């Protein structure tokens, strides 16, 4: 398996590839939609088996219209909608045009493709419409003996909800909320115990002081960290190990 965390600024575009499957977590911002679709085509993606929309902020769902117009997507999983927003209109239009009904995750969904198991964990609480990040889907991916955890934009309350319900170790962590400092990050690291992590950030976004505070916590727990602002991060996974490169 290969995982690519694409350099899309402060946004998530995360592609999982095996010999016979493709899964995509989030689609980035509408402003980078053309760039993202070109990158996916350059990665030889022709169809997407599963598209996971973690939540409905523009930097996660903004490119969904372009993805759905350019690729056959077999199934979509999404969070519940916490607020109505004009950001959703293009996504909703293309769903209606293609007669696609996403699966809304409020508990969890587990599926396996080509030997890789994906566990999608929904938010069970009804969070404030002002905190739509807390409705983020969290995705745990297992390939062989290694586990990879993707936290979406979970804020403190969502992280604590997750930790209350799951006792989960992971080797690799996609840091929640683009590296903004979160007080619950330390609890997350204590529980999950990752060796490596990636922050999906842009230049100056989040601000330097936020990233500095987050990196300090990660260093304290011995977690080696990459930032997508410095280039797309690629994780090449074998059943018992993985390697990380960036360019």
Secondary structure (3-state) at 145: coil
- Predicted TM-score (pTM) of the model is 0.96
* Fold of the domain spanning 2-246: Metallo-beta-lactamase; Chain A (3.60.15)
Token duo for residue 29: 């911002």
Yes or no: say if 87 and 58 are a contact pair by the CB < 8 Å rule.
Answer: yes
Q: Distance between CA 178 and CA 184 in Å, rounded?
A: 14
Select from 79, 57, 61, 69 the least CA-distant residue to 24.
61
Secondary structure (3-state) at 225: strand
Q: Distance between CA 51 and CA 71 in Å, rounded?
A: 11
Token duo for residue 181: 């400092």
- pLDDT recorded at residue 126: 77
Instruction: Quick: pLDDT tens for 100-129.
Output: 999 999 899 999 999 999 999 999 877 766
Mean pLDDT for the chain?
94
* Band of residue 86 on the pLDDT scale cut at 50, 70, 90: low
Yes or no: say if 47 and 22 are a contact pair by the CB < 8 Å rule.
Answer: yes
Mean pLDDT value across residues 44-53: 97
Mean pLDDT value across residues 53-69: 94
- pLDDT recorded at residue 88: 79
Select from 70, 88, 79, 100 the least CA-distant residue to 30.
88
* Band of residue 89 on the pLDDT scale cut at 50, 70, 90: confident
- pLDDT recorded at residue 104: 94
Q: b/e per residue, 18-29, with b = 16+ CB within 10 A?
A: beebbbbbbbbb
Mean pLDDT value across residues 229-236: 98
Q: Which position has the token pair 């992590």?
A: 197
Instruction: Quick: pLDDT tens for 154-188.
Output: 999 999 999 999 999 999 999 999 999 999 999 99
* Band of residue 87 on the pLDDT scale cut at 50, 70, 90: low
**Side-by-side strand order, sheet with 2-5:** 103-104, 76-78, 50-53, 22-25, 14-17, 2-5, 233-237, 242-246
Yes or no: say if 140 and 170 are a contact pair by the CB < 8 Å rule.
Answer: yes
Q: Distance between CA 68 and CA 37 in Å, rounded?
A: 10
Token duo for residue 135: 């409705």
* Band of residue 83 on the pLDDT scale cut at 50, 70, 90: low
Give the rounded percent of residues in the chain with a pLDDT score beyond 70.
Answer: 96
- pLDDT recorded at residue 84: 61
Q: Distance between CA 243 and CA 3 in Å, rounded?
A: 10
Q: Distance between CA 114 and CA 116 in Å, rounded?
A: 6
- pLDDT recorded at residue 130: 60
């Amino acid at each position: 398996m290969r995982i690519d965390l694409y350099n899309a600024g402060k946004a998530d575009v995360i592609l999982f590839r095996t010999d016979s499957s493709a899964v995509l977590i989030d689609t980035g911002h509408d402003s980078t939609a053309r760039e993202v679709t070109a990158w996916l085509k350059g990665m030889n993606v022709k169809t997407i088996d599963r598209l996971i929309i973690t939540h409905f902020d523009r930097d996660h769902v903004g490119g969904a219209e372009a993805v759905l117009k350019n690729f056959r997507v077999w199934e979509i999983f999404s969070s519940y909608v916490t607020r109505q927003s004009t950001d959703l209109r293009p996504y909703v239009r293309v769903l209606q045009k293609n007669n696609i009904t996403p699966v809304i995750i409020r508990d969890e969904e587990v599926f396996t493709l080509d030997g890789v198991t994906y566990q999608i964990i929904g938010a069970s609480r009804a969070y404030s419409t002002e905190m739509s990040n807390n409705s983020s889907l969290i995705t745990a991916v297992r390939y062989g003996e290694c586990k990879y955890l993707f936290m979406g934009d979970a804020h403190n309350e969502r992280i604590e909800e997750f930790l209350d319900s799951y006792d989960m170790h992971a080797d690799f962590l996609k840091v929640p909320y683009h590296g903004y400092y979160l007080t619950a990050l330390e609890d997350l690291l204590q529980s999950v115990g990752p060796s490596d992590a990636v922050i999906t950030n842009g230049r100056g976004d989040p601000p330097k002081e936020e990233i500095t505070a987050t990196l300090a916590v990660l260093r304290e727990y011995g977690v080696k960290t990459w930032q997508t602002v410095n280039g797309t991060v690629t994780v090449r996974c074998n059943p018992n190990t993985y390697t990380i490169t960036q360019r």
